[in-house]
Amino acid sequence: MNSIVVVCNNCSTKNRVPADKQHLGPKCGKCKEAFSFAGSAVPVELDDSTFPRFVSQASKPVMVDFFSPTCGPCRMLAPVIGSMARKFYGRVIIATIDTSRNQTTASQYKIRGVPTLLFFKNGQLVDQATGALPEQDLAGLLEKHA
C-alpha cells in the first residue's frame, strides 16, 4: 500500500498516512489535529489482495483506474488521475490497480483493454469507461457519480 506524507497545519509534524486511510479522517499522531488533504490526496494503489475489501467497504463512491505500466495511454492518463484524486477528495475515492501484476481482479471484471475505469457504489459496479479520457470528460463522469 502506498502512503502519503502530510505536514500537520497545527504542529508542523510530518505524518505518514497509508493512502487507503486518507479518506477516514486521520489525525496528527502528535497533536491529534485532523488533517486537511486538500491539495495532497493521492490515488489509492490497490492489488488483488486489497481490492475486494477496499471497494466493498468504502464509505464513498470509488473509481478504479485499471492500468498497465507499459501502456502509453495509461501513462498519459496517470497525471489526470492524480489531479482527480485531489479535486474529488472527500467525494469520490480514486484508486488504481496495475493489471500486469493483478490479473485476478482484471479477469474478474473482464478488463480487455487498458486504461479502463470502473465506478463502484456500495461495492457494486455502476459504470465504466475505456481509454484515456480528456480531463474534462473524466471530471464530468466523476460529478455524475459523486
Q: How far is the CB of 85 from Zn ion (least distance, A)?
A: 23
In 10 A of CB 116, how many CB atoms? 20
Separation between Cα atoms, residue 89 and residue 135, nearest integer Å: 16
Catalytic residue at 28? no
Q: How far is the CB of 36 from Zn ion (least distance, A)?
A: 12
Among residues 11, 28, 31, 74, which one is catalytic?
74
Q: Listing from the earlier edge strand, what are the strands of the sheet with 62-67?
A: 44-46, 93-98, 62-67, 116-121, 124-130
Q: Which residue type, as a one-letter code, is found at position 55?
A: V
> Which residues are paired to 88 by β-bridges?
none
Among residues 11, 28, 31, 71, which one is catalytic?
71
Q: How many helices (H) and strands (E) does the chain have?
A: 4, 7
Residue 90, sorted as left (phi over 0), alpha (psi -120 to 50) or beta, turns out to be left
Could you list the residues that contact Zn ion (CB under 5 A)? 8, 10-11, 13, 28, 30-31, 33
Of 13 and 108, CB closest to Zn ion: 13
Q: How far is the CB of 6 from Zn ion (least distance, A)?
A: 10
Q: How far is the CB of 82 from Zn ion (least distance, A)?
A: 25
Of 35 and 119, CB closest to Zn ion: 35
Of 30 and 101, CB closest to Zn ion: 30
Of 33 and 137, CB closest to Zn ion: 33
Tell me which residues are annotated as active site: 71, 74
